Amino acid sequence: MSDYQYPRFQKGKLVFTELSLHERLLKALSALSFEKPTPVQAAAIPHAIAGEDLYIIAQTGSGKTAAYVLPTLQRLLDDDSKPLAPRALILSPTRELAQQIHKDIQDLARFTFLKSELVIGGEDFKVQAAKLRKNPDIVIATPGRCLEQLGAGGLDLSTIQTLIIDEADRMLDMGFAEDVLTIAQACPEQRQTMLFSATTGNAGLKRIIEQVLREPRWLELDSVRDDTPAIRQQVIAVDDNAHREALVKWLLLNECQGKAIVFTNTRVMADRLNGVLRAVEGLRVYVLHGEKDQKDRKLAIERFKQGGSGVLVATDVAARGLDISELDLVINFDMPRSGDDYLHRVGRTGRAGGEGVAVSLVAPHEWSLMSSIERYLRRQFERRVIKELAGSFKGPKKLKASGKPVGAKKKKDDKKKIKRPKTPKPAARRKPAVPKGEVVTSSDGLAPPKRRT
Ligand code: AMP
């Protein structure tokens, strides 16, 4: 795999010192060994420091967190007002992502006096309120708990200068649209808002953009669909669950020196597989899914992160926001239900310029779903057979031009499953033809959406 390029982190000649960042932030960047801004950082930071509203399409793993944290810290350092309430609010769809953002802020703000605090579910409400009384500069929140603290008077958003909505598409998928709008309404109208999304989303995202952002600058980095070149993506045809389990064990024992995540579609399957893998000598196995309480989830992530090797069995809840370095294998125990879920799963590997392998185990009934995902990503996965464990299913004998097996029924909801992100109309008009991989920026041509907050 040494011939793999790491395009996301090798492009561009810009260095951080050219981005008008405070020397304390530059010191933190050098302590973290971040030498050059990633494309999303290079594109976003100057506009964000200038106080513009931004709508950015960038994937987890692109360095998007620092792309909004650095300018936010810079603006806080430049601001002399000392309000008794937070000045920046970051909304995250999941607790895990919020914790990751909190850690990134601590790393980047380590040579400043700026402080951040988490407002997420699963943690003691009163302890959280007490922490908020210490006036953190930045609050990182999940929408539900944010509204609860707001309602209880524990959180005051009247002094927010910067609102960041991270993984907005996921936020909407999880049903947080109204919560996000309510929270935005609780922030002052005169504020900066930055919205990040991995996909161009649907009508729901467009509505949020229109209501929450003001004359946003639209930045689209490499489309998510093109942005996984450092990951080898393979499929193995499987007969049944017993065959899947045997393959997972083989892959973990033979092809993974470091860390791996095995994704399952259901919690029940995650628990079952956890049991199966724990019985395998030499594997350190943890499980992560939505039914585990917050303490267990935190512990599983911490333990998994520590040490050089380990296996995390997880459902999609865990896919978002997890930033685990040295993750070299992702296994889809079963096929994810949509192209975007697939991307979020495989995006766990090959991060920060590293290389990775993603293997999907595909049973006969999943073949057409798999080929729909291939079409969505505009790439063909490598077909693979593990000799020792070759099954009787070798993939469909005859394929339609679409790649689906002959005889596969055209399901009514097939379209629904593979949601192609619809480019919002105004943005499509503004999108100039640029070579793939270039950053597209524009702020003109967009009918200035009125902020109704
Ligand atoms: P994110 O997309 O924000 O989740 O970041 C993905 C990973 O890239 C994280 O491990 C970051 O610490 C890392 N990262 C962010 N910016 C840079 C940079 N400029 N150089 C190297 N690594 C970075």
Query: pLDDT 10s digit of each residue in the chain, 453 long?
Result: 222 233 334 445 678 998 989 999 999 999 999 988 988 999 999 999 999 999 999 877 788 999 999 999 999 999 988 888 999 999 999 998 999 999 999 999 999 999 999 999 989 999 999 999 999 999 999 999 999 999 999 999 999 999 999 999 889 988 999 999 999 999 999 999 999 998 777 788 999 999 999 999 988 875 545 555 568 899 999 999 999 999 999 999 998 888 999 999 999 999 999 999 999 998 999 998 877 787 888 888 888 888 788 999 999 876 666 666 667 899 999 999 888 788 878 877 765 556 789 999 999 999 999 999 888 777 889 999 999 998 889 888 776 666 667 666 555 444 444 444 444 443 333 333 333 333 444 333 233 333 433
The set of residues, in sequence order, having a beta carbon less than 8 Å from that of 168 and lying 6+ positions away, is 180, 195, 196, 197, 201, 205, 208
Residue type, 59: Q
Return the best residue to mutate from 8, 59, 351 for the ligand 1 pocket (most ligand atoms within 8 A of CB).
Answer: 351
- How many Å lie between the centroid of ligand 1 and the Cα of residue 219? 18
Identify the CATH class of 16-220. Answer: alpha beta
Task: Indicate whether residue 60 lines ligand 1 (CB < 6 A).
Answer: yes
Nearest to 201 by CA among 94, 76, 84, 340: 340
Domain extents in the chain? 16-220, 231-389
User: What letters, b where the CB count within 10 A reaches 16 and e where it falls short, cover 123-159?
Assistant: eeeeebeebbeebbbbbbbbbebbbbbbeeebbbbeb
Task: Indicate whether residue 347 lines ligand 1 (CB < 6 A).
Answer: no
* 3-state class (DSSP) for residue 40: helix
User: How far is the C-alpha of 345 from the C-alpha of 315, rounded, in Å?
Assistant: 9
The strand pairing partners of 183, in sequence order, are none
- How many Å lie between the centroid of ligand 1 and the Cα of residue 28? 13
Q: Do domains 16-220 and 231-389 have the same CATH topology?
A: yes
Task: Indicate whether residue 66 lines ligand 1 (CB < 6 A).
Answer: yes
Rg of the chain (C-alpha set): 22
Nearest protein Cα to ligand 1, atom 20: 34
Regarding pTM above 0.75, the answer is no
* 86: its two tokens: 């937070």
Residue 159 main-chain phi, psi, to 5 deg: -110, 15
User: What superfamily would CATH give domain 231-389?
Assistant: P-loop containing nucleotide triphosphate hydrolases (3.40.50.300)
| Torsion region of 282: left, alpha or beta (phi above 0 gives left; psi -120 to 50 gives alpha) | left
- How many Å lie between the centroid of ligand 1 and the Cα of residue 394? 39
Task: Indicate whether residue 62 lines ligand 1 (CB < 6 A).
Answer: yes
Nearest atom in ligand 1 to 35's CA: 20
Burial class (CB in 10 A: 0-12, 13-18, 19+), 2: exposed
User: How far is the C-alpha of 65 from the C-alpha of 8, rounded, in Å?
Assistant: 15
Return the best residue to mutate from 16, 19, 40, 65 for the ligand 1 pocket (most ligand atoms within 8 A of CB).
Answer: 65
Nearest atom in ligand 1 to 352's CA: 8
* 329: its two tokens: 């294998």
- The answer to whether 158 and 137 are in contact (CB under 8 A) is no
Nearest atom in ligand 1 to 107's CA: 12
The set of residues, in sequence order, having a beta carbon less than 8 Å from that of 337 and lying 6+ positions away, is 265, 369, 417
